[in-house]
Each structure stands twice: as C-alpha cells, then as structure tokens.
Amino acid sequence: MTFGQLFNPIAVGRAVFTPSRPDRVHDPMVKRVQILRTAVGLVAITWMLLTYGLAADADAVVDDRFGQIRTALIVLAVTFPVAVAAFVASARPPHRRLFLRRAAKPAGALLALVVTLAVPRLITGLGYVDEHTDWTASAGRVVLLFALGAFLLWLAPFALYGIGQSLVHVFRTADLHETVPPLLAMLLVWELALFDLFRGAYHSVPLGARLAFLLGAPLSVTVVAMWELRRLRMRHGITLRGALLR
C-alpha cells in the first residue's frame, strides 16, 4: 500500500478486512451467496424491527444494528481465540505452526474493528471533547476541531466498510483456512441466538415472529455454511479433515 492510499479509507479497509492469502481458493459463487445472505438478513431484520415497533425509525434501526454488532464483537472476542486455539491444536504438524502464523491477520482485523468502533467513545470518554467544548477558545482548539473532523470523516467509511467486509468474510478467517469462515459463522450466530434467548429479546412480538427472529439467522447461516463446506469439498477438494491432516 502506498502513502497516498492511506488517505483512502476504502483502500485501507480492503487491506485490513479482506482475505489476502495468495493460495486461497477464489470461488465467485460462494462470494455472491455470502453477500446475498448478508444483505437479505439485514433487510429482513430491519423490516421486522419496524413492522413490530421494536424500532421507531431508521435511526433506531441503526442503533439496534450497532448494538448487535457490539454484542457480536464481544462474543467473537471470546470465541475467536478459543476456536482458533482448538483448530490449531487439532491440526497435526506441520500445519499447526502454519495455522498459528496465519491467525495474525484475522486477529488484526478483529482488533482493528474493535478499536475503530471504540474511538469515538474514547474521544468523549477521556474528556478531550464534550458538548460544552468551546472550539474557538484558542487556535489550538480550532486546529483540533479540523483534525478531529477530518479524522472522523475518514473513520466513518472505514468503519462501515469494515463492518460489511467482516460480516461477509467473517473477519478474514479464510486467511487461516477456507473451512474456518463457515464454521466460525455457524458457531457465532448460534451463540448470538442463545444470548438473545436468555436475555429475553423480542418478548413484545408474537411467538411466530419471535421464533423467526431467534432462529431465522442461525438456520439460514447454517444452511449457507453447510452449502459452502460442501462446495469446497466437491469443487475444490478442500475439507476440514484435510486441513487438520486427520
């Protein structure tokens, strides 16, 4: 990446959140299905939130989505090292060391998104900026205003692009191995469904809609993930057992 590209948030986001392992299998059909699954899921959940009054308007929908993204990041922050450790430990040498080395980029993508979403809250939480800040009090404040404005204008598309790519590529875990994204997606989505179940989410909607909320995402993701694993096996000869040398 060149110095000039650092000013392009999409180019930086592509470098951070998109799998880049040279020998990774590229299957356009799998990518299209992943994007379609993500888009359909977001549209369906947005429609249900507005239909059943769980969100009053578009802003409330956005707040709800970001709330679930924060929850997903917390769950993934716990799940990711455990899942990767189990995957690496299950592999036989020499793949064990290879997978451990490959785990750096997915871990970096997860960390980058966590930091990106935390930056605005850190700026206000540390007391540098609040609603009473007088931006014209000094020349330094004016410079800080323009610097923060430019940074946040860069950060917003970077964060949105990162969220989208993370949903599609499951935090670029294909850099670890092609079978990891569908497996991790299934694990994560069922964990989130159990979390929603135990916290009593969507209690104000009819039973049928509640079941659709709770089971729609994990079932659809599971179907897509199983199809992806089957396609990897049938079309490309890639299996979990082969990855682990079992």
pLDDT classification of 69: cutoffs 50, 70, 90: low
Task: List the alpha helices (DSSP H) in the chain.
Answer: 9-17, 28-51, 58-90, 95-102, 104-125, 139-169, 180-198, 207-236, 240-244
In a domain, 11, yes or no: no
* pTM for the full predicted model: 0.79
In angstroms, what CA-CA distances link 164 with 28, 52, 108, 130, 222? 17, 26, 16, 30, 19
In a domain, 13, yes or no: no
pLDDT classification of 15: cutoffs 50, 70, 90: very high
Indicate the length of the chain as a whole number: 246
In a domain, 4, yes or no: no
> Does residue 243 carry a pLDDT above 70?
yes
Nearest to 189 by CA among 107, 31, 68, 86: 68
Mean pLDDT, the chain, as a whole number? 79
Q: Answer yes or no: are the C-beta atoms of 20 and 175 closer than 8 Å.
A: yes
Domain range for 213 is 23-244
Q: Answer yes or no: are the C-beta atoms of 176 and 102 closer than 8 Å.
A: yes
Query: Per the structure, how many domains does the chain have?
Result: 1
pLDDT of residue 61: 47
In a domain, 14, yes or no: no
Q: Answer yes or no: are the C-beta atoms of 17 and 166 closer than 8 Å.
A: yes
In a domain, 126, yes or no: yes
In a domain, 12, yes or no: no
Write the pLDDT tens digit of every residue in 163-215.
888 888 888 999 999 999 889 888 888 887 887 777 776 666 677 777 777 78
Write the pLDDT tens digit of every residue in 120-154.
777 766 655 666 666 666 777 778 778 888 888 99
In a domain, 56, yes or no: yes
In a domain, 6, yes or no: no
